[in-house]
Amino acid sequence: MTKKEQQKEKGDKEKKPVTTVDDLYRHSTQYRLWSFTENQLKERRTKVNVQGKRRALKKLKVFCERDDNDHKFETSRDLLQLVSEDEELLEVNYYVDVLQKLSSQVLKLPSQVRATAVAFLKRFYLVHSVMEHHPKKVLATCLFLAAKSENCFMAPKTLAEYLGSKTTPESILELEFTLVQALSFTMLCHHPYRALHGFLFDFQGILIHRHPNGVVVTRKDESTGEKKKLRIKINKDRIMKGYVAAREWADVSLKGDTAFLFTPPQIALACFLKVDEEMTVAYLTYKFVKDQHKDRQEEGGKEEEEEEEEEDSDDEDNPETKFDNDEEKDENKTEEEKQKAKEVEKEKELEKELEKEQHIQFYKKMIKTLRSCIRTMDSVRGPTLDEAKTIDKKVHYCINPDKLLKRKRQEGADGGQHDAKKIKLEG
Amino acid sequence: MTEVADSYLEDINNDVCPICKTDKYLNSNMKFLINPECYHKICDSCVDRIFSSGPTKCPYQGCEKILRKNKFKSQIFEDISIEKEIDIRNSIVKIFNKTEKDFKTLEEFNAYLEKIEEIIYNILNGVQVKETNEYIANYKQENSKSIHQNNINIQRQHDIFLKIENKKKLINDEKQKLSKQLIRELQNDKKIANQQITNNLLNSSLDTNLIVENARKNLLKQSSARRKKYIEQTKLLQEKFMSQEDLEMMNYSNPGLPGFRKHRLMQQQATMMSPFSPFNGDRSVNLPFEVEEEYFDPYTSNVIKDAQYLAGGIRVEQIYKKSLFEAFFGLDCIIKEEKSA
């Protein structure tokens, strides 16, 4: 249980409940409607895929039953290649990539708009399948709507000029309502960029302003592999460099499911952790463990002693397998502490210990979350160009079954001739 | 063009008496009057001419209503339907004149108001006219005493209100006079002081700076004394014009609220004492971060230098606070754990 939760509980007992900053996030639509566990995401995608397959077949059937052609549904059904769940995901990922490149390199939009457009596109395909609406079309509408909702309006005409001849202002606006409806009319997206900016400040606040004499970090010796504790000074240039690099990772985080599985501040911290582990771990330990404790107990003499103890929490950033050992160590030390505490004030000390334990637990939980966030970020796989092309073709025919049948008929008609030509050429 | 011409014609028609065809353009003293019986517009000279000898039929073709001269009045609202509604409303409210104080609960009072609106609507739109008129007559009979009493009360309150308003006006006039006088006196003082300074500078052997300084001090003393006097005088005004009796009457014209309203008001005030909390709980005062005075950040430092942003009301502390807030906006929401439940 975290400190905040405990505070909340206390509040419940004593008087009115307290709304923390996290509770505010829990009230946001991003949390309520667009945050999922991995299983929930998978379920949703399966559902969407089934729905898409059904719609594609229905479309084909409707087309075959029209009077102006002699296609039979039973035969043409075998011709139609439906898109599988995995392929669908790859297709969306591919177009997310396209969208990012387009908005950053061609349209040169602010990162907030880009991120919102990507979020819209990804959310849209949790409601509709690629077999219902082609991502190429939805992408344009997403861009338009994102620019509009992020207060960076672009006229559909201007946007259509950038997007090539096939996109017209009408085609952009045509899907606007479908998109808004798929988004359940929730336009406000929270992205890691602002959180990153906030951490840029708080890193400075904690690592530089609060500890002008430097902070203690654990560093692994390259040659011997031994861990050493060092007191280093972190300057603003290092933080700034980390921030710039982390921003790039924030761009990457838009791609996969990261935004569905984690909250913006978590993603932001994970980006920092990825680019400068030492600094981020130092920040986390000082922010959530050491400084928390020091605030309550302003006894200069004890400070150093405690610092040494708390260094243990430093180790916890290392792979989770280490956790058990560290916990044991902690327990040993707490026992020693208790004996000392008997002499002074037993209860107070106990309380402090409990609180400290909670801080450490919170820290561990945080690190664990960040690590899994990084893993999610790393695991994003976009399709290769060939894969993308084949999937795109399938998607195209699912949406336009008439074109598929026309094509097949043509192939059937001049298939023989083709072969003849080939043979001739080879000959 | 035709539209303009039409509206012009209409204007002309509006200004012409339909009975005697006199144009307002030719006779600027002409007034149009209406009678609440049928609301037909007739000019004042026609009214004099036709109705002086007693009640007769309305001169409009097809209108069979018998009109009396003393019921004619000038039109207040341009729209006749509004005029009509206001008349009906006034007459109904004179009968249904209970106040909030006469009811025990807010629901009863609201039902009463709703009933009044229903009656007005019925009469105005000719729905169930017979039943409504019967209801009004019955009500009038049953409550004749209280209706009379309430009307007297309302009249009295209105009289008191007018009286007090008059007095307030008088006080304001006097105040204005006094303040003008004050300004004049202050200017006069300044003139005199300047003259004295020049005289002193010419005649005395003292240090020039000292002379000026002394004069300035004297002037300040004088002006502050005058201001004090002015404030006292304005206070006296209040007492002079508003007797104790008047003040009491003022309270009378603002009668206290009925019990149920008072209770509710108290409840409202009680809830207003604590800050508004939209999320069913108070905002945590202890934010998980501290905003410091300055941070190193090229982006914000550009913003601070930009006059455009500053003029727009953007302050760097706000940027810091907002960004920091977003940094902790959901940091501890572990979706994996919370959403799986």
Is A99's pLDDT higher than 70?
Answer: yes
Q: Which residue has the higher pLDDT, A55 or B60?
A: A55
Q: Is the ipTM of this complex over 0.95?
A: no
pLDDT for the residue A339: 67
pLDDT for the residue A30: 94
- Mean pLDDT for A137-147 is 93
- Mean pLDDT for A161-181 is 90
**Do the domain assignments include residue A89?**
yes
- Mean pLDDT for A213-239 is 83
Q: What is the percent of chain B with per-residue pLDDT over 90, rounded to a whole number?
A: 8
- Mean pLDDT for A147-152 is 92
Task: Pick the range with the lowest mean pLDDT from B126-135, B264-273, B280-289.
Answer: B264-273
What gap in Å lies between CA A129 and CA A125, rounded to an integer? 6
Its pTM stands at: 0.59
Chain A positions in Cβ-Cβ contact with residue B296 (cut-off 8 Å)? 204, 236, 239-240
- Domain of A102 in residue numbering reads as 36-189
E strand map for chain B:
32-34, 42-43, 56-57, 66-67, 73-74, 282-283
Answer yes or no: do A26 and B332 touch at CB < 8 A: no
Is B134's pLDDT higher than 80?
Answer: yes
Is A425's pLDDT higher than 50?
Answer: no
Three-class SS of A295-329: HHCCCHHHHHHHHHHHHHHHHCCCCHHHHHHHHHH
What confidence category does residue A2 fall into, taking pLDDT thresholds of 50, 70 and 90? very low
B330, A29 contact by CB (below 8 A): no
Answer yes or no: do A264 and B330 touch at CB < 8 A: yes
Pairing verdict, β B282-283 and A18-19 = parallel
Tokens of B176: 């204005």
Q: Is A209 on the interface with B (CB under 8 A)?
A: yes
Domain boundary among A135, A163, A189: A189
Q: What is the pLDDT of residues A7-34, one digit of tens each?
A: 444 444 445 677 888 888 998 999 999 9
On average, the pLDDT of chain A sits at 81
Scanning A239-268 for CB atoms below 8 A from B yields 239-240, 261-266, 268
Q: Are residues A58 and A200 in the same domain?
A: no
Q: Which residue has the higher pLDDT, A127 or A72?
A: A127
Q: Are residues A148 and A72 in the same domain?
A: yes
pLDDT for the residue A184: 93
- Mean pLDDT for A327-355 is 69
What confidence category does residue B260 fall into, taking pLDDT thresholds of 50, 70 and 90? low
What confidence category does residue B277 fall into, taking pLDDT thresholds of 50, 70 and 90? low
**Do the domain assignments include residue A364?**
yes
Q: Is A26 on the interface with B (CB under 8 A)?
A: yes
Task: Pick the range with the lowest mean pLDDT from A11-15, A119-123, B242-246.
Answer: A11-15
Q: Are residues A44 and A158 in the same domain?
A: yes
Residues 6 or more apart whose Cβ sits within 8 Å of residue B32? B17, B41, B42, B43, B44, B74, B75
Is A268's pLDDT higher than 90?
Answer: yes
Count CA within 13 A, CB hemisphere, residue A20: 20
Q: Are residues A80 and A218 in the same domain?
A: no
Q: Which residue has the higher pLDDT, A423 or B234?
A: B234
Q: What is the percent of chain B with per-residue pLDDT over 70, rounded to a whole number?
A: 86
Q: Are residues A112 and A208 in the same domain?
A: no
Q: Which residue has the higher pLDDT, A109 or A335?
A: A109
Q: Among residues B30, B61, B70, B65, which one has the least CA distance to residue B46?
A: B30
What gap in Å lies between CA A339 and CA A332, rounded to an integer? 11
pLDDT for the residue B153: 86
Distance from CA of B331 to the nearest CA of A (A): 5
Sign of CA dihedral B249, B252, B253, B256: positive
- Mean pLDDT for B105-114 is 88
**Do the domain assignments include residue A360?**
yes
On average, the pLDDT of chain B sits at 82
Q: Are residues A164 and A212 in the same domain?
A: no
Q: Are residues A163 and A197 in the same domain?
A: no
Total of domains in chain A = 2
CATH code of the domain containing A378: 1.10.472
Is A367's pLDDT higher than 80?
Answer: yes
Q: Following CA atoms B321, B322, B327, B328 in sequence, which dihedral angle do they give, to the nearest 10 degrees?
A: 80
Q: What is the pLDDT of residues B162-179, one digit of tens each?
A: 888 888 888 889 889 999
Q: Are residues A268 and A377 in the same domain?
A: yes
- Mean pLDDT for B303-329 is 85
Q: What is the pLDDT of residues A289-338, one digit of tens each?
A: 887 766 544 433 333 434 444 444 444 444 444 444 444 455 555 666 66
Give the residue from B292, B317, B326 with the most A CB atoms within 10 Å of its CB, the best one to mutate.
B326
What confidence category does residue A214 fall into, taking pLDDT thresholds of 50, 70 and 90? confident
What confidence category does residue A147 fall into, taking pLDDT thresholds of 50, 70 and 90? very high
**Do the domain assignments include residue A196?**
yes
A48, A126 contact by CB (below 8 A): yes
Q: Which residue has the higher pLDDT, B68 or B14?
A: B68
Answer yes or no: do B332 and A199 touch at CB < 8 A: no
Q: Are residues A250 and A375 in the same domain?
A: yes
Class of domain B2-75: alpha beta
Domain boundary among A189, A217, A249: A189
B42 bridge partner residues: B33
Q: Among residues A279, A251, A281, A248, which one has the least CA distance to residue A371?
A: A281
Domain boundary among A141, A169, A189: A189
Tokens of A146: 């994102």
- Mean pLDDT for A232-240 is 89
**Do the domain assignments include residue A116?**
yes
CATH code of the domain containing A102: 1.10.472.10
- Mean pLDDT for B229-233 is 86
Answer yes or no: do A263 and B328 touch at CB < 8 A: no
A81, A397 contact by CB (below 8 A): yes
- Using the CB atoms, write b or e for B194-227: b if 16+ within 10 Å: eeebeebeeeeeeeeeebeeebeeebeebbeeee
**Do the domain assignments include residue A365?**
yes
Q: Following CA atoms B100, B104, B108, B114 in sequence, which dihedral angle do they give, to the nearest 10 degrees?
A: 0
**Do the domain assignments include residue A238?**
yes
Q: Which residue of B has its CA nearest to A33?
A: B339
Q: Are residues A198 and A279 in the same domain?
A: yes
What gap in Å lies between CA B68 and CA B70, rounded to an integer? 6
Chain B positions in Cβ-Cβ contact with residue A235 (cut-off 8 Å)? none
Distance from CA of A225 to the nearest CA of B (A): 33
Nearest to A27 among B279, B289, B322 (CB): B279
Q: Are residues A122 and A247 in the same domain?
A: no
pLDDT for the residue B9: 53
Chain B positions in Cβ-Cβ contact with residue A264 (cut-off 8 Å)? 326, 329-330
What gap in Å lies between CA A348 and CA A346, rounded to an integer? 6
Is A4's pLDDT higher than 60?
Answer: no
What gap in Å lies between CA A403 and CA A405, rounded to an integer? 5
Q: Are residues A149 and A216 in the same domain?
A: no
**Radius of gyration of chain A from Cα atoms?**
28
pLDDT for the residue A325: 45
**Do the domain assignments include residue A423?**
no
Is B213's pLDDT higher than 50?
Answer: yes
Q: Which residue has the higher pLDDT, B309 or A44?
A: A44
Chain A positions in Cβ-Cβ contact with residue B339 (cut-off 8 Å)? 35-37, 40
Distance set, CA A142 to CA A127, A129, A226 (Å): 14, 15, 51
- Mean pLDDT for A117-130 is 95
